[in-house]
Amino acid sequence: MSSNLENQMDRGTQDERENRESENQENVGRTKGSSNRGFASMDPEQQRLIASKGGKAAHQLGVAHEFNSEEAREAGRKGGEAVSRDREHMAAIGRKGGEASRGGGRGREKSREPEQE
């Protein structure tokens, strides 16, 4: 190979390396991917805004999915199963409910005044 051709190949490789380095510097601070194109590369607030507009448009066109009572029941059941696996969380919910009802549950004196007839 001639030295001129080798120099061009070296430059091409060096140019490619510099492009990659500058792209990496531009992507510092991004949380997703390395591309600066597309929905996934947008910041979460911008994604929410676009998704919201899409949902509103779908409802206006009448093509949006709407849960019927059976689908809602099934979704609630699945969510309840997932939450109830966490025993500490369920205990905390129970304590909070007990405190909210009739003065705070067992072991505490009732400070309520007697009901008048």
pTM (predicted TM-score): 0.34
Q: What percent of the chain is modeled with pLDDT above 90? A: 29
Greater pLDDT, 104 or 57 = 57
| pLDDT at residue 103 is higher than 70 | no
Longest dimension (CA), the chain: 110
Domains of the chain: which residue ranges? 38-64, 69-100
For residue 39, give the DSSP letter: G
CB-CB contact of 15 with 23 (8 Å) = no
What pLDDT digit, counting tens, does each position of 3-52 carry? Answer: 555 555 455 566 666 666 655 555 555 555 567 889 889 999 999 999 99
